[in-house]
Copies of this chain bind each other. A is one copy, B any other.
Amino acid sequence: MKEKQVVTPFRSVDHQHSTCLNSVLVTAEHYCQQRGLKLTPLRRRVLELVWKTHEPVKAYDILQTLQAEKKGAAPPTVYRALDFLQQQGFVHKLESMNAYVGCGAPGQHHTSQFLICHICGVVAELDDYDIGELIGSKADSLGFKVSQLTIEIKGVCGSCQAA
């Protein structure tokens, strides 16, 4: 095992999410500023909503919130913002759930493996060298050239097992 990086951990009991959220927003703003990308109010708001918790968020839940805030939001409003955020690496889509989750290493190039607790709903994100490496080598041995990996692991997190 070379490295095991936990991008987004399961939270400790004393997790201060407001700090966590704020740090993500600051990072994203900084990242965009640096490269002339526009983290518009809308995009920023959608990022905030995705990061409202550590659980996956549905596009239409975001839409509902935006509509309640009385902008004239429609599906494209949300999907465009999500596309932007995914392209910049600020959020990830969980393919097996049709839902979105904030990235714990926004803007950093990395692989992702998601651990999803089906009791509490919380998602942890890993950027694990060994897993990518192993899958790459298996694929290689079959003459297959990997370009994109979807790894979503469902189960029960530590605290839910304890309870």
Judge if A61 is at the interface, Cβ distance under 8 Å: no
What is the minimal beta-carbon distance from A58 to any residue of chain B, in angstroms? 15
Q: Hey, what's the 0/1 contact readout for A138-163 against B, CB within 8 Å counting as 1?
A: 11011111111111111111100100
Is there an interface contact between A145 and B135, defined as CB atoms closer than 8 Å?
no
Interface size grouping (class) on chain A: 35 or more
Within the assembled complex, what's the spacing in Å between the Cα atoms of A80 and B137? 37
Is there an interface contact between A152 and B150, defined as CB atoms closer than 8 Å?
yes
What residue of chain B has the Cβ atom nearest to residue A146's Cβ? B155
Judge if A95 is at the interface, Cβ distance under 8 Å: yes
What residue of chain B has the Cβ atom nearest to residue A118's Cβ? B147
Instruction: Please tell me which one of the listed residues B9, B131, B156 contacts residue A147 in the complex, with CB atoms under 8 A apart.
Output: B156
A:104-134 near B, CB below 8 Å:
113, 115, 117-118, 124, 126, 128, 130-131, 134
Residues of B within 8 A of A9 (CB): 142
- The oligomer's copy count stands at 2
Judge if A12 is at the interface, Cβ distance under 8 Å: no
Looking at A6, A96, A135, the one whose CB has the most chain B CB atoms below 10 A away is A135
Is there an interface contact between A143 and B157, defined as CB atoms closer than 8 Å?
yes
Judge if A31 is at the interface, Cβ distance under 8 Å: no
Given A95-B95, A124-B142, are A135 and B153 neighbors across the interface (CB < 8 Å)? yes
Q: Could you list 19 A-B pairs, sorted by A, with CB under 8 Å?
A: A4-B138, A9-B142, A10-B142, A95-B96, A113-B138, A117-B144, A126-B138, A128-B138, A131-B131, A131-B135, A142-B158, A147-B154, A148-B154, A149-B152, A149-B153, A150-B150, A150-B151, A150-B153, A150-B154
